[in-house]
Amino acid sequence: MNRPAIILALIAAPALADADPESLRRLVHQDCGSCHGMTLRGGLGPDISPSALTHYRPEDLTTVILDGLPGTPMPPWRPLLSEDEAAWIADYLLEGESK
């Protein structure tokens, strides 16, 4: 991680330290939604609605969220999210609104 990214992480960490499901849900739809569409059914990035992710195990999806997919536009969210938050998002994506 280069220096600006570390600074970014330091700036962002306090904001999400006490993140609640509501703000994570918002992050998923608004910010993941920048590429995957606000309804998560795809945009420049692929469809990430539950039916499109059935081949993912929760722990693998958590890793993709934290570390991104090198060689694709999927960025690592580790600078902005804790592992618990990424795991919550992975579960939310796999289970949909029932979560």
Partner 1 sequence: MTPAPLSRNAAENLRHPGFHHSGNTPAGGIRARLLALTLAALALWAPSLPASAQATGDLGLVVERASGSLLVVDQSERASIGRITGLGDLSHASLVYAPDERFAYVFGRDGGLTKVDILAQTVVNRVMQAGNSIGGAISDDGRFVAVSNYEPGGVRIFDAETLAMVADIPTDSKTIGLVDIPGSRFVFSLWDTGETWIADLSGGTPQITRIKGMGAYPYDALVTGDGRTYIAGLFGEDHLSALDLWQESPKPRRILPGYAKGRAGLPVYKMPHLEGWALAGQDFVLPAMGQHEVLWVDARNLEETGRTPTHGQPVFAMSRPDGRHVWVNFAHPLNDTVQVIDSVTKAVIHKFTPGPGVLHMEFTPRGHEVWLSVRDAGKVMIYDTETFEKLGEITAESPSGIFFTARAHRMGL
Q: Which residues bind partner 1 (CB under 8 A)?
A: 1-2, 4-5, 8, 11-12, 15, 30-31, 33-35, 37-39, 41-44, 68, 73, 75-77, 79-80
Q: Nearest distance from residue 90's CB to partner 1, in Å?
A: 18
Element of type H or E holding 9: helix 3-17
Nearer to partner 1, 57 or 72 (CB): 72
Query: Are the beta carbons of 41 and 34 closer than 8 angstroms?
Result: no
Residue 78 three-state SS: coil
Nearer to partner 1, 73 or 98 (CB): 73
Nearer to partner 1, 75 or 84 (CB): 75
